[in-house]
Amino acid sequence: MSRVYKHILPEVRKELDGWRKVAGEIPDLELRKQALDSLETKQFHCQGGAVYAAIELPERHTLIKLIVAYQTISDYLDNLCDRSTSMDPEDFRLLHQSMLDAINPDALPLHYYAFRQEQNDGGYLLKLVETCHSCIRLLPGYAIALPFIQDLVGLYTDLQVYKHIDPELREEALLNWWSIHRDRTPQLGWNEFAAATGSTVGVFMLFLSATDPHLDQATVATIHSSYFPHVCCLHIMLDYLIDQEEDRVGGDLNFCNYYKDSETLLDRIAFIVESAREDVANIPSPSFHRLIIEGLLAIYLSDPKVREQQEVRSISKRLMRKSPWTRLFFFMNSRWIRKHLYK
């Protein structure tokens, strides 16, 4: 945590300030608004993701720069699709092609706005993609990690397309998509599988693995399967857990709404937590990854939104019951950060 406060958070802030300046010069008013809003309201995604650079390694700056650029693409596109002037799946697919291109240093740039009304971002999205490329080229083990990263980003892209289309069509599209992949995660329901595909933490962990010049395929395969699906699923299910009221008001899809009652929801999250803990025991530095799991629980369950929703508050209390000291530490730490850094 000393390293996070002393090095990680200041570097993330510096990177975000740079992207905020670029976003402020976007010619199209709508694209500029969504870019600036995503940087303002979702900066904690970059701060949380950059924790993967807290391990002592020479590529720390490169890893932070890569994580911030990649997460900024994700958050910007999420804003464009959530608050879209379009409901065209081709538009969503082409926009998210930028995320697939960002992880492939040999990818040629496309006109990612071809299917939407807003066109001119002044090169903002392309600069984010190119920044990812420049960082990736400095990671010695990246060629080994790339196929596993592409797998997760491909699933992420599919999810973003299906969950943002016309509300009357999206559930059927998600179920049809799940039917293709259900054998990968037979222990999960369709909503839980979809949640797992919506997380970027697996990609960040694979970015970290690529800093190892001796990375081999067996190791990276184990890392991939240790994060997907359970750690990734926990991340997004917690996000949806605290956003239930907000999504209900906004008419947005929420994967926590597909359980028969709150007791079932609690049982499923508890199952996912324990599965995630078991999975990360199989990879190097398991204690670090257990901290990630406890940190996810603490960050989301300490969110002010929890106190505003009686059912969510009850689930949160039960999940926090008999917590290990690490989770309690991160819980208090998260509250301190919100009080002092997000005034």
- What is the structure's pLDDT at 201? 97
* Residue 310: count of CB within 10 angstroms of its CB: 9
List, as one string, the DSSP characters of 148-200. Answer: HHHHHHHHHHHHHHHHHS-HHHHHHHHHHHHHHHGGG-TTS-HHHHHHHHT-S
Q: How far apart are CA 145 and CA 328, in angstroms?
A: 34
Enumerate the H helices of the chain as residue ranges: 2-3, 9-23, 29-41, 43-49, 60-82, 89-102, 124-136, 142-164, 167-181, 190-197, 201-209, 217-227, 230-242, 244-250, 262-280, 286-301, 304-307, 310-320, 325-341
Contact 231, 279 (CB under 8 A): yes
The domain ranges of the chain are 1-138, 141-343
Residue 179 has which token pair? 């039917």
pLDDT at 56: 75
pLDDT for res 331: 60
pLDDT value, residue 325: 64
How far is residue 2's CA from residue 258's CA, in Å, rounded to a whole number? 40
Predicted pLDDT at 330: 63
As given in the structure block, the two tokens for residue 10 are: 């200041």
Contact yes or no for 35/83 (Cβ under 8 A): no
Residues in the chain: 343
Q: Are 74 and 21 in contact (CB under 8 A)?
A: no
Q: Which parts of the chain sit beneath pLDDT 70?
A: 84-85, 322-343
> What is the model's pLDDT at position 153?
98
CA atoms within 13 Å, Cβ hemisphere of 278:
8
CB 103 within 8 A of CB 130: no
Q: Looking at residue 311, what is its pLDDT?
A: 82
- Specify the amino acid at residue 208: L
Q: At what angle do helices 217-227 and 262-280 cross, to 10 degrees?
A: 160
User: How many CA atoms, within 13 angstroms, populate the side-chain half-sphere of residue 290?
Assistant: 14
